[in-house]
Structure 1
């Protein structure tokens, strides 16, 4: 049995290895708990999410090297944002309940709602309250860094409070686990693990595309869980139709439930995200700086969190946060100025979406599918290009403004009757 490592031992070693300034600013404010007889689990309690991220990105490797140097072990490191020692027990229990550790900072309370994600957020809340009763499976899809993983973790963190058995895993980890169990001739334990949970949360299912053997295994896992009325929730970076190499029988299973897309956040949502991070972590940024940040970084929420982390670190080490500081901090990630698409761009995007020729949209064809695509082009153009009424009429060979207005009214009416159409339009606009 290895000698137990005390918190004081670590403090003295960290002070020596990291130096006085880093230790005083960062490591002295943390609590350290080394678990198990082999000292192979290290739990670090940090005061806020930004120090948590800073440790993960800047110091994780060094901490492992220190343990190897002093204790001849490389522990599994868990970093948690907590301020009360009484919460440590709860955190340990959560680690034991999950087959893959959830991020404790990804909760519904820290998820900022906006028009771009409200539908997905409501679905996530409902599956926590009513396991598999209404929506099963659930697929959240959208671009990188828009909050899909946050929602998945929020669900896991919520239902763990109800003593549910949760497995949170990426599709790649599922595959790696599968390969490992095949090689060790232990598929029974693999199936026992994945087919006996209350909630299976699986990230990035597009990874299964083109991998037939793991698709077969996941198909049977899915059927087993669904039959037992266990909840299956997945994420993907694109819609089901756009995932290539996915077996039709698996796609049909995914279509049993509900899909919800998450669009990039608008300016107001980005402002609220930045404000929330400031409140949680006691950062003071002026209104002008917050609005500047929201206007000049992209829609990727992870990127927004990253720049806020960077500003917090600068503040932590005594640098005042001015507009000039912010301008310098975001130079590497500042988004390019957006250009309005041309009507030709819009025609091509709509044509691709509905699998018709751009020339057909510009024609006078009255075929139902082409006429509908033409109306959508008009609708999107009017929203994205200022003062475009005359241009629309000329480009689409229409008589006058009244015909354009009639097409817009028709699409507005259809959206009210068929909300899916709004999602399709948002998808086209997002690509533009």
Structure 2
């Protein structure tokens, strides 16, 4: 809604009834016009469109946001723009109040109200409530006085050993944020979900390891849902339930893996419910993982589902091709090994769904290489990994050869089949014919027809030309070998 000036907005202020939602809407719309000019359109739609202005009174605007997460994200990322807009529309004496919807599970929203910092003050965010990690002598005293607490964390699971890609970028960023300020942000609980072998356990434990590394807390506990449930049953049988509950209520960062296994365990869920409430109310961090979105887990109580959804849920997707290659290269570097790019491409092309299997391929390949003392070439790789990579052999086609040649020479299929006599196109066409004759059972007539309707004599001439060039030029021989490797991978 365009406006002429802030004064025009304030002049329409209802004097008799200052708490009118209609006027609050006008004020907020005017603010949005200013904010919209300073952030990108997608961010504006995501974070400002869902906001509802509730009332305006005594220079105080109250807006409703759908969750605690929303409130904290806006305060942390867009606070300056909100303040500038309010100052322009209302003036330096203006105030902002958030009404936060906390829980809709009971059929009606339960809200809390939190103030925004006075807009006349600096836009700098408040200092973190988390103390800085101890330094020098202080850190030495911290280390000396560290309690003996078994966290069950694997020290190998760190952020530095975790490859970041499009498949896990949001989860990675949220996990780093939690590790820096556990329990002091909107990501509580942090729920990470995804299929088997995508890195959920690695990411959760990386948070715990960084919290301990930064000396933020020693009370970090990683536990599988299965172990939690077994320990809980044992506590009941041994009359130690009070000790069990007391132990978990003292944890600063609680990490529970695979919560889908709590489904149907009513008593265990009740205990989790009470532990969750105690920790959350004490600003302790809770991190959970699941193989599916929380709402899709059957057999979990609604009140528990509601609490698990209080924070942030992020998913892990199967890694894309580039990320798979990066994971393989990282694993090779850790082992001080270099492999031909063809081997890396082969594994990255054929293992697509599971990070764990990617790493398993490298481990098995290196073990076999050490055991048999054989060079790791493509044939050795296929033989070694045949039980992991189940390749369906398919007949090599002229289309596959065409695609490989076009990609290598950066030309189009139309170029290859056309009449152009440019050097790179003519060379690519002749090599495509040569490879088609060498690698397939296609007749000369079929090859000629495929590559632009040429007759068999043209195909023979092209093949002979390439054969002679291979005898005279190392560059051509290397080109042919590289294309054969690419075609072999593409045809698997």
Count of residue correspondences: 249
Q: Which position in structure 2 is the counterpart of 1:285?
A: 339
Q: Which position in structure 1 is the counterpart of 2:188?
A: 136
Flag the structure with higher helix content: 1
Question: Is 1:328 aligned to 2:386, yes or no?
Answer: no
Deviation at 1:162, TM superposition (A): 2.9
Deviation at 1:263, TM superposition (A): 0.5
Stretches of 4+ aligned residues off by more than 6 angstroms? 90-95
For the 8 Å contact 1:113–1:269, the answer to whether it is kept is: yes
For the 8 Å contact 2:364–2:385, the answer to whether it is kept is: no
**Higher RCO (CA 8 Å, separation ≥ 6 residues):** 1
For 1:140, what is the secondary structure of its paired residue?
strand
Q: What per-residue deviation string (whole Å, max 9, x for no partner) do you get for residues 57-82 of structure 1?
A: xxxxxxxxxxxxxxxxxxxxxxxxxx
Deviation at 1:277, TM superposition (A): 0.3
Question: Is 1:153 aligned to 2:209, yes or no?
Answer: no
Q: Which position in structure 2 is the counterpart of 1:112?
A: 163
For 2:255, what is the secondary structure of its paired residue?
strand
For 1:178, what is the secondary structure of its paired residue?
helix
Give the alignment's Cα RMSD to 1 decimal: 2.4
For 1:97, what is the secondary structure of its paired residue?
coil
Question: Is 1:167 aligned to 2:221, yes or no?
Answer: yes
Q: Which position in structure 1 is the counterpart of 2:306?
A: 252
For the 8 Å contact 1:298–1:335, the answer to whether it is kept is: no
Between the aligned partners of 1:146 and 1:130, the Cα distance in structure 2 is 25
Of residues 178, 186, 190, the one that matches 1:127 is 178
For 2:221, what is the secondary structure of its paired residue?
strand
Deviation at 1:93, TM superposition (A): 10
Between the aligned partners of 1:107 and 1:334, the Cα distance in structure 2 is 28
Between the aligned partners of 2:144 and 2:380, the Cα distance in structure 1 is 40
Going from structure 1 to structure 2, the CA distance change for 1:136 and 1:153 (only over 3 Å counts) comes to same
Between the aligned partners of 2:145 and 2:376, the Cα distance in structure 1 is 39
Q: Which position in structure 2 is the counterpart of 1:219?
A: 273
For the 8 Å contact 1:298–1:334, the answer to whether it is kept is: no
Q: Which has the larger radius of gyration?
A: 2
Deviation at 1:242, TM superposition (A): 1.2
Between the aligned partners of 1:319 and 1:97, the Cα distance in structure 2 is 46
Q: TM-score, normalised by structure 1?
A: 0.55
Q: Which position in structure 2 is the counterpart of 1:86?
A: none
Q: TM-score, normalised by structure 2?
A: 0.48
How do 1:58-77 residues align onto structure 2 when only pairs under 5 Å count? Answer: none
Of residues 154, 174, 179, the one that matches 1:103 is 154
Between the aligned partners of 1:304 and 1:92, the Cα distance in structure 2 is 40
Deviation at 1:96, TM superposition (A): 3.9
How do 1:48-67 residues align onto structure 2 when only pairs under 5 Å count? Answer: none
Between the aligned partners of 2:166 and 2:314, the Cα distance in structure 1 is 13
Of residues 239, 250, 264, the one that matches 2:293 is 239
Going from structure 1 to structure 2, the CA distance change for 1:321 and 1:336 (only over 3 Å counts) comes to closer
For the 8 Å contact 1:97–1:160, the answer to whether it is kept is: no
Question: Is 1:178 aligned to 2:232, yes or no?
Answer: yes
